[in-house]
Amino acid sequence: MRTMDRLAALFFLASFWGASAPTASFADICSTPAEFVCAFSQSAADRRRELQALWAESALNETEKLFAGNRGVLAALQRIADPKPLPFADAQEFKHFEQASRVYYRRLRQEMDLNELQLREFFSLHQEFIKQAIDRQAYPPALRAEMVNKVFATEFLAFERAVAGEVQVEGQWVRGLFEGSLDLCGADGWRKTAFNRGVKIEVPGIDLLTGMAINRVGVGHVVMACPRLYAAAYDEATKEYRPTASLLHELGHSIDEKYFAKVYEPLVRGWEKRLPVHKLWPAVGGKPEPVSEHVRELIADHWSAEGLAVWLERAPVAERVEMAVGALHSRCEMVPSRGHPSGRLRIDLILENASLRQALACPAL
């Protein structure tokens, strides 16, 4: 990336947390959370799009140079520049797209100057917030310990590494991960923000009988963040990534209703009483989805709120609204889909959380 382009990018990242943020008001975020959180200026949204285009265009140009003369791969590059829905017409088309994507994501990583060690530390910070949130629940000690263990057993996997084929995983899973990741994040990496997947990972080990090094296949959870999340979370002023509701949410999936259904029964009953069905996204064919279809997402959002409360409580009260807005803003662009309420509704529900409202000095509901 040219020096002037990089300076423009850094200006944008600084403005994301500064001039583009709405005036901090405890009353507004308490009473109309989604409306307040999503009230960023249009100019900020335009700058965000320009920056993404800058990074993507540079990465695409470099990839195109590498594959000059390869018509199949060059045609596949157009699907990155103008993403189209999967699946592909045939195996050869997919192979070309896979070649193009792997080079594109390596280039994109260079353009964004991603520091993987820093990103892993960033993820570990989210794990610590969820741990503290669990520790202050009135659960039996053994249950708290089990939940904390599942959170810390969840690993961070750099999305662009997964797509570029730079991770060691069971061969069959690599293809499913590649397709699923691009489907969720978009071929250019700018659609969704993060996701949690149950995976089979090859872990280096030692055969106790022979003493020889072997790879064992372990089953667990990984959280992957799309490149867009890195851009939104980075604070140029402090040279650090700020915590985000998205990563806290994905960690929440490691301890959601699938594993601890009994724990969440009181929460679910409360949602069933309060949430009118028409607020949730109607399924294909127009049939409304009941709360039961959204439970896993709502529970993950519950832990997102609990983790945000832990983080905000560390900061001066006067800074907490701006911090909360920055952490939640990526939810604004999320459209409803099967099992997922709209992003704005989810912001409103997150701000119903008692711990988060207390951290933001909101009146109790």
Structure tokens at 316: 């001066």
Least confident of 87-91, 101-105, 174-178, 191-195: 174-178
Q: Using one digit for the tens of pLDDT, what is the confidence trace for 101-125?
A: 888 888 887 777 777 788 888 899 9
Indicate if the pLDDT at residue 248 is higher than 60: yes
Indicate if the pLDDT at residue 165 is higher than 60: yes
Q: Using one digit for the tens of pLDDT, what is the confidence trace for 218-235?
A: 567 778 888 777 777 777
d(CA 133, CA 251): 12
Indicate if the pLDDT at residue 52 is higher than 70: no
Single pTM value for the model: 0.79
Tokens 């730079």 -> residue: 166
What percentage of the chain reaches a pLDDT higher than 90?
28
Cα–Cα distances in angstroms (integers) from residue 259 to residues 41, 137, 143, in the given order: 41, 17, 11
CA dihedral 167, 327, 143, 154 (to 10 degrees): 0
**Is 344 in contact with 331 (CB distance < 8 Å)?**
yes
Between these two residues, 183 and 35, which has the higher pLDDT value? 35
- Among 351, 303, 346, CA closest to 324: 351
Highest-confidence range of 55-64, 130-139, 165-174, 227-236, by mean pLDDT? 130-139
Least confident of 44-53, 191-200, 231-240: 44-53
SS (H, E, C) the chain: CCHHHHHHHHHHHHHHHCCCCCCCCHHHHHHCHHHHHCCCCHHHHHHHHHHHHHHHHHHHHHHHHHCCCCHHHHHHHHHHHCCCCCCCCCHHHHHHHHHHHHHHHHHHHHHCCCCHHHHHHHHHHHHHHHHHHHHCCCCCHHHHHHHHHHHHHCEECCHHHHHHCCCCECHHHHHHHHHHHHHHHCCCCCCCCEEEEEEEEEEEEECCCCCCEEEEEEEEEEEEECHHHHHHHEECCCCEECCCHHHHHHHHHHHCHHHHHHHHHHHHHHHHHHCCHHHCCECCCCCECCHHHHHHHHHHHHHHHHHHHHHHCCCCHHHHHHHHHHHHHHHHHCCCECCECCHHHHHHHHCCCHHHHHHCCCCCC
Task: For residue 87, say if its preceding peptide bond is cis, omega within 30 degrees of 0.
Answer: yes
Between these two residues, 48 and 288, which has the higher pLDDT value? 288
What's the mean pLDDT in 7-15?
Answer: 39
What percentage of the chain reaches a pLDDT higher than 70?
70
> Which pLDDT belongs to residue 146?
96
Indicate if the pLDDT at residue 8 is higher than 50: no
d(CA 79, CA 229): 21
Residue 19 binned pLDDT confidence (cut-offs 50, 70, 90)? very low
Q: Which CATH class is domain 3-359?
A: alpha beta
Indicate if the pLDDT at residue 346 is higher than 50: yes
Residue 301 binned pLDDT confidence (cut-offs 50, 70, 90)? very high
d(CA 241, CA 239): 7
> Which pLDDT belongs to residue 43?
40
Tokens 């018509």 -> residue: 71
What's the mean pLDDT in 313-333?
Answer: 89
Q: Using one digit for the tens of pLDDT, what is the confidence trace for 144-162?
A: 999 999 999 888 877 667 6
Least confident of 87-101, 211-225, 260-274: 211-225
Highest-confidence range of 91-100, 107-116, 157-166, 298-307, by mean pLDDT? 298-307
Half-sphere exposure of 191 (CA within 13 A, CB side): 17
Indicate if the pLDDT at residue 32 is higher than 60: yes
> Which pLDDT belongs to residue 112?
78
CA 142 to chain centre: 29
234 φ, ψ to 5°? -80, 130
> Which pLDDT belongs to residue 267?
92
> Which pLDDT belongs to residue 205?
56
> Which pLDDT belongs to residue 126?
95
> Which pLDDT belongs to residue 187?
73
Indicate if the pLDDT at residue 13 is higher than 70: no
